[in-house]
Amino acid sequence: MHLPVVLNLLQASLSSFTGLLDFDPSANVSPYDLDRLATLSPYHDRAHVPGVAAELPSDCTVDQVVLLHRHGSRGPEWEDKYIQKLVETLDNSSQAIGRAHLPQNLRFLKDGYKSDLVPHELTIVGRRQLFDHGADFALQYPTLSTDVVLSSPVQRVVDSSRYFGHGFFGGDVDTVEFVTVDELDVPVNWITPWKSCSKYSEAKGHAAASAWASKHLGVDLSDDDIRGALFACPYDLAAHNESPWCAAFHNHELRSLEYEYDLLMDRISGLMSNNDPGPVLGSVYVNKLIERFTNATSDAKELYLEFGHDTSILLVLSAMALNKDATPLPVDHIRVHRKFHTSEQAPFAARMVWEKFSCKKSFHGPQIRLLLNSATYPLTTCQKSFKDKEFGSCSLKEFISVNRFNLNIHYGDETWNATCVD
């Protein structure tokens, strides 16, 4: 890792970098790798799973759709302090940088580096992602509609729902009611269920991920400037679709950053924490999904448009064991082949689409399919036939059967309280 050398020397106000930073540019990041930044990845479609059909049989019709959409690209959260510290260090070392002999991928420092990132807020890139997704969704499901859009109350999520709405509804958007989960009369909602779980905390995830990064990223992450440079890469992308910092790191270093975030998210929304909060909290959504698909309340809509966070999506996958690895992710090395892979499951503007469909001949009875980021995500836990495997789907009956654990969890019961109540 060469970037720490630069920043350490900058801090020491040394006057020359000649000969310290000569390395092979081909070892640096490629455009493909910029889709591998975990939950900070720009939106990208997932690759289709080999052997799984991309389209349903021609005799099948989608009857009901439930969308759970993550907000679009945003500014940094807790990472912002590290980016601002980096900017301060570079400002204080501008004279040394001006005299330095830098490799091609760091020469942008001679012009200075400023950050215009706005913490927490939806970026211009994020706005466009949601508008485009709304228009795409209208083309994909032209016969389905709704008059209500539901979201988390966080402003970037509310904004995302409205940009999607403009793309989906067009000139009719003013006739649509935009509602947040805070307005629902329920003890726990299915988009942000952790808000009703007093024992739920993200702190354990951050601590565990930081321990991994300090040991394995090849840099001393107690150095705030190095952290700032790492975080500037994905957040510049989120705001501007480009970042000079991404080329400052080798592929394996960005892979390590991705793994750091995967460990973090697996501990706060997956299957690696005490009492498995992922499945318990995700069960709220699974219950709501089955209620809608079975029309248990006799008022099910043909289309649901709902907006939340990366955790909202990951909790659902955890509850259904669809991203569960056979053994927990190790902290002493990167497991390359893993099911819990947030770059593919929950990038910015991720979209989880549940379809209930029926067919004249291909299948008997109502069927369920999951599209995650535009590609079929096989429902491996409930597939019973070769046809199921071919299309990644399963029958509604089997879907309900394999989710008995989720259906037996209710807010305030013994299982919920063991996980959520202090």
Q: List Cβ neighbours of 171 (8 Å cut-off, separation of 6 or more).
A: none
Which amino acid is it at 38?
A
Residue among 286, 228, 236 nearest 257 (CA):
228
Which one is catalytic: 159, 310, 341, 388? 310
Active-site residue identified among 71, 133, 216, 250 = 71
Active site residue 71: yes
Question: Using an 8 Å Cβ cutoff, are 270 and 39 in contact?
Answer: no
310 among known catalytic residues: yes
HEC secondary structure over the chain: CCHHHHHHHHHCCCCCCCCCCCCCHHHECCHHHHHCCHHHCCCCCCCCCCCCCCCCCCCEEEEEEEEEEECCCECCCCCHHHHHHHHHHHHHCHHHHHHCCCCHHHHHHHHCCCCCCCCCCECHHHHHHHHHHHHHHHHHCCCCCCCEEEECCCHHHHHHHHHHHHHHHHHHHHHCEEEEHHHCCCCCCCCCHHHHCCCCCCHHHHHHHHHHHHHHCCCCCCCHHHHHHHHHHHHHHHHHCCCHHHHHCEHHHHHHHHHHHHHHHHHHHCCCCCCCHHHHHHHHHHHHHHHHHCCCCCCCCCEEEEEECHHHHHHHHHHCCCCCCCCCCCCCCCCCCCCCCHHHHCCCCCEEEEEEEEECCCCCCCEEEEEECCEECCCCCCCCCHHHHHHCCEEHHHHHHHCHHHHCCCCCCHHHHHHHCC
Report the 10 Å Cβ neighbour count for 365.
Answer: 10
Catalytic residues: 71, 310
